[in-house]
Amino acid sequence: MISANDLSPAELAALLHFHADAGVEWLLEEEAIDRFAEFEAMKAARRPAAAQGQQQRPAVGERPAPGQAPVRPNAAVRPAPAERAASGPQPAIPDGEAVQQARFVAETARSLVELKTAIEAFNGCNLKHSARSTIFASGDAESGIMVIGSAPSAEDDREGMPFSGKSGQLFDKMLGAIGLTRSAILLTQVIPWRPPGNRAPSAAEMDICRPFIERQIALAEPKAILLLGNFSARFFFGENDTIHGLRGRWKEIAAGDCVIPAIASLHPQDLLTAPVNKRLAWNDLLAFQAKLKSLSLLRN
């Protein structure tokens, strides 16, 4: 095993980034522990106790001693409820109650500031327990222009802001190409917490987070929305097509009493993976720019 003391600062930083991208969130021990050896030792310690227990139990069909429960054939020995509870933490499963709680929290927020505070205090979604940051809308809420990404990446989670790292650098260039900046729009994500390992959010997690993003839209009242990525396009359009089938076409999405025109395009990360698709994204950006000009949200 290589010690951290043997690594240069650059090598150590690269290793930490590798573990963070792989979904490792916490350092549990100061020193490495051989869990396989520990497990074998635990099994060896259990064998004498198990053998002693078998000796004390009467054989099947034998009359048990006074006060001892009879033994049934093929009956599995189950631990008591207290023992089962102590064996390990039970996973929290999102349910309808969590969705109702999220709706109540969202609907009672009267401003984006109140909504941000409420989401940061909300503990009904499993994603929050593994994420480092809560990603909320940033930028100009009065601009009438809203851009919505999918879910925070590892870089977003570390930096505490949407579209960070290389993906964010490309995103800034995309905005600049049509005369926009981050500070001139309202930028947010569908999901406020990074799913572990950048996995896709589950259906239950999406149901819990939906009131939060819809309330952001309702409070900001944008005049036009740009959706980036396959997940965000499917989330709002309610279709199962790929981003290539959903992009480039204006549709209307509803949030509260608002009905807003929205267009979907490829996520900057998609363009980093397949640069050949930049021409498609450029066409979408031009369509978004034209819509903003028609709404007098962008100067000619």
Put the strands of the sheet holding 251-255 in their side by side order.
Answer: 138-139, 186-189, 145-149, 224-228, 258-265, 251-255
Position 153 scores a pLDDT of 94
Q: Which two tokens stand for residue 199?
A: 């996995």
Q: 120-148 pLDDT, tens per residue? A: 999 999 999 999 999 999 999 999 999 99
Which of 136, 134, 139 is CA-nearest to residue 157?
A: 134
Per-residue pLDDT band for 13 (boundaries 50, 70, 90) equals low
Position 278 scores a pLDDT of 96
Lowest mean pLDDT among 35-44, 117-126, 265-274: 35-44
List the Cα angle 273/126/229 in 5-degree steps.
25
Q: What percent of the chain has pLDDT over 90?
A: 65
Are 263 and 250 within 8 A, CB to CB? Answer: yes
| pTM exceeding the 0.75 threshold for the entire prediction | no
pLDDT at 84 over 90: no
Average pLDDT, the chain: 82
Per-residue pLDDT band for 49 (boundaries 50, 70, 90) equals low
Are 214 and 252 within 8 A, CB to CB? Answer: no
Average pLDDT, integer, range 82-96 = 45
pLDDT at 43 over 90: no
Position 29 scores a pLDDT of 54
pLDDT at 253 over 50: yes
pLDDT at 89 over 50: no
Position 44 scores a pLDDT of 74
Position 71 scores a pLDDT of 46
Select the more confidently predicted residue: 77 or 123. 123
pLDDT at 207 over 70: yes
Per-residue pLDDT band for 217 (boundaries 50, 70, 90) equals very high
pLDDT at 105 over 60: yes
Report the alpha-carbon distance of residue 271 to residue 268 in Å, rounded: 5
pLDDT at 287 over 70: yes
Report the alpha-carbon distance of residue 205 to residue 271 in Å, rounded: 27
pLDDT at 299 over 70: yes
Residue by residue, what is the 3-state secondary structure of the chain?
CCCHHHCCHHHHHHHHHHHHHCCCCCCCCCCCCCHHHHHHHHHHHHHHHHHHHHHHCCCCCCCCCCCCCCCCCCCCCCCCHHHHHHCCCCCCCCCHHHHHHHHHHHHHCCCHHHHHHHHHHCCCCHHHHHCCCCCCCEECCCCCEEEEECCCCHHHHHHCCCCCHHHHHHHHHHHHHCCCCHHHCEEEECCCCCCHHHCCCCHHHHHHHHHHHHHHHHHHCCCEEEEECHHHHHHHHCCCCCHHHHCCCCEEEEECCEEEEEEEECCHHHHHHCHHHHHHHHHHHHHHHHHHHHCCCCCC
Q: 220-246 pLDDT, tens per residue? A: 999 999 999 999 999 999 999 999 999
Q: Considering only CA atoms, give the Rg of the chain.
A: 27
pLDDT at 33 over 70: no
Position 188 scores a pLDDT of 97
Position 76 scores a pLDDT of 42
Position 300 scores a pLDDT of 65
Count of beta carbons in the 10 Å neighbourhood of residue 110: 9
Which of 41, 20, 300 is CA-nearest to residue 178?
A: 300
Average pLDDT, integer, range 267-296 = 96
Position 6 scores a pLDDT of 64
